[in-house]
Amino acid sequence: MAKDRNENIKYLLEPRAIGIIGASANRWKIGNSVVRNIVTGGYKGKVFPVNPKEREIEGVPVYRSILDVKDDIDAVCITVPAPLVFEAIKQCCERSVKYGLVITSGFSEVGNVKEEREIVDYANSRGMRILGPNIFGIYSSKASLNATFGGGAIARPGNLAIVTQSGALGGAMAAQAGVENIGLSAIVPVGNKSDIDEADLLHYFIDDDHTRALLLYIEGVKDGASLLGALKATAKRKPVIFVKSGRSARGAMAAASHTGSLAGSDEVFEDVIRQCGGLRAENIREAFQWCKFLADNPLPAGDNTVIVTNGGGAGVMATDACEKYDVRLYDDFEVLRAAFSPVIPSFGSTKNPIDLTGQATAEIYTKAFDAAYADENIHSALGIYVESALLNAESLARVVEPNYERFKEAGKPLLFTLIGGAGTASYEDAARKKGFPVTTEVYDSVACLGAVYAYKRFKDSGPEDSIDADIDAQAIENIVAAAKQDRRTSLLSSEAQNIMKIAGVGIPKSLIAMTMEGAVKSAAAIGYPVVMKVVSRDILHKSDAGGIAIDLENREEVIDAYGAILRNCRAHVPNALIEGVEISEMVQPGTEMIVGARIDKTFGPIVMVGHGGIYVEVMKDVSFRALPLTRSDILSMIKQIRSYPLLLGVRGEKMKDIETLVDTILKLGAIVDKCEGISDIEINPLVIYEQGQGARAVDVRIILSRD
């Protein structure tokens, strides 16, 4: 049975009864910790420890075998040594257990791939799903279930769900969440991801009322297309924050040796996760700050942020950070002056940063926040406090706490940064533990607000149908089939050009002539200037053989060139069969782009665009999106590249034909998606002309998939 992605794995997170194969009475053993945590954690369902030698563990009666249990069992934790796991799974299948949680390690992560595969295939074919192997168990606040072998207490129940590929880091994050007073709805390690993966879990958490934000720690994605689908659906409902390591080449190598997972291209991951609404944090501190704030706070109604500070320098730093994290500072200076000049001291500034100066007391802060609260043009705010004799830690609480609460109620996110000595630090710590969003570094607060706005932009993007190009897949597949019969792994240039013609991508006009007269006629039909090239399978290096002439401007030059090409080629390769001469349009200069599509090993069909020619390798100015594509996806992908202004026209040049670029991207995507046998297409350069003037695919490379 293939696993059903639409099946909701409710009873994995909310089992009505749970078994533990490998339960132990020895408190040093994992098989004991799991039972103990379940019992002391307040789980309300039935618990069935299995151990052939014990009669009772942690006060719960023990079964000799899972087969002896008469009740239905939703999930079974397996903690027996690796060589005994398969037998345990078989028994679970016999008992129609829905989920096997294989805590035991020693499978694919140490090279034991085959047995892991066999176990999963066996279980799946009998309707059972596997979580793990190589996990620390799961926690679910909804079920009051702590089925982990962790020693420490799980953080308090709350609304953040953590899904993690690294058990150790997952456990430490859960503990850290406790310190940060972040409540958890669930922690689910996915371990080796032999079966159940992040996509399955996202599908569950979409509808889980307890969960208001998700944190995913990922080292490598296995089934990227499923992940993106699940992410897109989830992110429309609740924020999903990613920490993905293996960004760098060396990091990817380390990840491979850690969990055996291939990281894939980090650039692709970054782009397609964002396309589908995911927020990517660089590190764990960022991730926690974002998760906590997003889980607890409303999204702002609009883009306008104000910075309210008593320190000019810190205000300047926050302004820099706003640019870095794409937070828009409100800049209607008239409105700002009207709102704030009545409340700020002289020498202060209303220009946003609103500078209350070192004279600011709690009263002045509160009046400034009153003004920001009352002004409907202001949608979010950053409060900054630089230690001052006029405002001690106690008064600080009067500024931070009520303002945060009423702004939150009004749908206006408000974050504070507090910079100072021991008193300030200890209030900051206390406030954070009480759940107020305070940091000691303006960059942290602004990064968090940046995540809020990134998420808002995704949520605000209305429902948009994906678009598709209508291509003649059959005609293209015929060309591919012929090449495959020749056992080729890539297409000839002429075949690639044919495919472009079929798909309606502009290529240089070209005709084959067999005679001098034909050449002259063809050139006239194409329009001068033209390029001429010998057609012969026997001449591989046409340029070396003198088989190419460029920039031919008139009839006479074509006649001369025709003669010269034949002479040169006959002299160079005496026995060559010359099939004719190709006359092509001489491509006029334009903006050179690179456009591509491929079946990505991780994410399936993806498209790519970038600044082409030789610059693509040097500047690496490219962006990616996964199929299916909306028009907005393609436009945002084009706008993302640094050289986008070249398409808008620089130095008085006119706007380029962006429509044709969009269309070409869409067509390449459709080709790799729909045509069997093509794994990779790249046009470099695609020369783009002014608006309405189209483009020319000058060089097209198509790589076939390996069967």
- Which residues, 356 to 385, sit near a copy of itself by CB under 8 A? 358
CB of 410 to a copy of itself, least distance (A): 26
Q: Report the residue from 172, 233, 299, 475 that binds a copy of itself according to the rule CB under 8 A.
A: 172
* 504: three-class secondary structure by DSSP: coil
Binders in 110-149 for a copy of itself, by CB under 8 A: 110
- Closest approach, Cβ 294 to a copy of itself, in A, equals 19
Cα 189 to Cα 58: distance, rounded to the nearest angstrom: 25
Q: Which of residues 523-582 bind a copy of itself (CB under 8 A)?
A: none
CA pair distance 483, 470, nearest whole angstrom: 23
673 within 8 A of 605, measured Cβ to Cβ = yes
Within 10 angstroms of residue 277's Cβ, the number of other Cβ atoms is 23
Is residue 29 at the binding interface for a copy of itself, with CB under 8 A as the rule? no
Toward a copy of itself, which CB reaches closer, 302 or 312? 312
Minimum Å distance from CB 95 to a copy of itself? 31
- Among 577, 642, 659, 676, the residue binding a copy of itself under the rule CB under 8 A is 642
Q: Candidates 59, 421, 463, 574: give the one binding a copy of itself (CB under 8 A).
A: 421
Rounded CA-CA distance 343/364 in Å is: 7
- List the one residue out of 598, 603, 624 whose CA is nearest residue 680: 598
Helix (H, G, I), strand (E, B) or coil at 69: coil
Question: Which listed residue (15, 22, 41, 150) binds a copy of itself by CB under 8 A?
Answer: 150
Question: Is residue 197 a contact partner of residue 224, using CB atoms and an 8 Å limit?
Answer: no
Strands 438-439 and 414-419: parallel
Q: How far apart are CA 85 and CA 474, in angstroms?
A: 48
235 vs 307, beta carbon nearer a copy of itself: 307
Considering the complex, state which of residue 134 and residue 664 has its C-beta at the smaller distance from a copy of itself: 134
Candidates 601, 615, 674, 705; binder of a copy of itself (CB under 8 A) is 615
From candidates 323, 405, 470, 538, binder to a copy of itself by CB under 8 A = 323
- Count CB-CB contacts under 10 A for residue 224: 23
Question: Could you say which of 16, 247, 408, 570 contacts a copy of itself (CB under 8 A)?
Answer: 247
Q: With binding defined as CB under 8 A, does residue 463 bind a copy of itself?
A: no
In degrees, rounded to 5, the angle at the alpha carbon of residue 434 between the alpha carbons of residues 433 and 436 is 95
- Nearer of residues 340 and 458 to a copy of itself, judged by Cβ: 340
The DSSP string of 165-183 is: S-HHHHHHHHHHHHHTT--
Q: Smallest distance, Å, CB 659 to a copy of itself?
A: 21
**656: closest CA among 605, 574, 590, 570?**
590
Task: Note whether 412 and 373 are within 8 A (CB).
Answer: yes
Q: Is 316 in the site for a copy of itself (CB under 8 A)?
A: yes
| H/E run at residue 579 | none
- Binding residue for a copy of itself (CB under 8 A) from 8, 176, 265, 636? 176
Phi and psi at 437, nearest 5°, equal -80, 85
- Determine the interface stretch with a copy of itself among 12-20, 344-352, 405-413, 671-679 (rule: CB under 8 A): 344-352
Q: Which member of 355, 600, 657, 663 binds a copy of itself (CB under 8 A)?
A: 355
From the list 37-45, 252-260, 296-304, 600-608, the region that binds a copy of itself by CB under 8 A is 252-260
Cβ of residue 387: shortest distance to a copy of itself, in angstroms? 4
- The reply to whether 650 sits near a copy of itself by the rule CB under 8 A is yes
Q: Give the one residue of 294, 386, 452, 520 binding a copy of itself; rule: CB under 8 A.
A: 386
d(CA 429, CA 294): 20
> Residue 301: which residues within 8 A CB-CB, separation 6 or more?
379, 411, 412
Closest CA to 365 of 338, 389, 391: 391
**Could you tell me the smallest distance in angstroms from the CB atom of residue 104 to a copy of itself?**
13
Contact call for residue 586 and a copy of itself (CB under 8 A): no
| Of the candidate residues 387, 585, 600, 682, the single one contacting a copy of itself (CB under 8 A) | 387
CA distance 503 to 481: 17
Number of residues that bind a copy of itself (CB under 8 A): 85
Residue of 56, 71, 118, 320 that binds a copy of itself (CB under 8 A): 320
Q: Which has the closest alpha carbon to 389: 360, 348, 355, 429?
A: 360
Q: Does 334 bind a copy of itself (CB under 8 A)?
A: no
> Contact region for a copy of itself (CB under 8 A) — 83-91, 94-102, 508-516, 643-651?
643-651
Per-position DSSP letters for 236-301, written without gaps between them: TTS-EEEEE---SHHHHHHHHHHHS-----HHHHHHHHHHTT-EEESSHHHHHHHHHHHHHSPPPS
Question: In what helix (H) or strand (E) does residue 469 lie, and over which residues does it extend?
Answer: none
Query: Who's near 169: CB < 8 A, 6+ residues apart?
Result: 217, 284
Using CB under 8 A as the binding rule, the residues of this chain from 434 to 453 that contact a copy of itself are 440-443
Position among 233, 284, 512, 576 found at the interface with a copy of itself (CB under 8 A): 284
- Residue 388 beta carbon to a copy of itself: minimum distance, rounded to whole angstroms: 7
Interaction of residue 311 with a copy of itself, rule CB under 8 A: yes
d(CA 48, CA 45): 10
Q: How far is the CB of 474 from a copy of itself (least distance, A)?
A: 36
When binding is defined by CB under 8 A, the residue of 53, 250, 487, 706 that contacts a copy of itself is 250
**Smallest distance from the beta carbon of 283 to a copy of itself, in angstroms?**
4
Angstrom distance (rounded) from CA 206 to CA 528: 61
* Nearest distance in Å: CB 485, a copy of itself: 32
Q: Are 399 and 365 in contact (CB under 8 A)?
A: yes
Nearer to a copy of itself, 249 or 374 (CB): 249
Contact range with a copy of itself by CB under 8 A, out of 63-71, 168-176, 571-579, 688-696: 168-176
Beta strand 678-688 pairing with 622-626: unpaired
Q: Are strands 695-697 and 678-688 parallel, antiparallel or unpaired?
A: antiparallel
Residue 440's nearest CA partner among 259, 317, 270, 606 is 317
CB of 553 to a copy of itself, least distance (A): 11
**Residue 108 touching a copy of itself (CB under 8 A):** no
Q: Restricting to residues 491-520, name those near a copy of itself by CB under 8 A.
A: none
Q: Which is nearer to a copy of itself, 519 or 609 (CB)?
A: 609
Query: Minimal distance in Å, beta carbon 432 to a copy of itself?
Result: 12
Work out how close the CB of 48 gets to a copy of itself at its nearest, in angstroms, rounded to a whole number.
Answer: 25
Binding test (CB under 8 A) with a copy of itself, winner from 254, 566, 658, 703? 254
Tokens standing for residue 238? 């609740």
585 binds a copy of itself (CB under 8 A): no
Helix/strand/coil for 99: strand
For residue 565, the tally of other CB atoms under 10 A from its CB is 22
**Length of the chain measured in residues:** 707
How far apart are the two ends of the chain, measured CA to CA in Å? 24
Min CB(287)–a copy of itself separation in Å: 10
Say if residues 295 and 160 touch (Cβ distance below 8 Å). Answer: yes
What are the strands, taking DSSP E only, across 464-517? 510-513
Rounded to whole angstroms, the maximal C-alpha distance in the chain is 103
Binder to a copy of itself among 169, 393, 414, 454 (CB under 8 A)?
Answer: 169
CB of 164 to a copy of itself, least distance (A): 8
Q: Using the rule CB under 8 A, is 166 a contact of a copy of itself?
A: yes
Kindly state the smallest distance separating residue 626's Cβ from a copy of itself, in Å. 23
Q: Is there binding between residue 424 and a copy of itself (CB under 8 A)?
A: yes
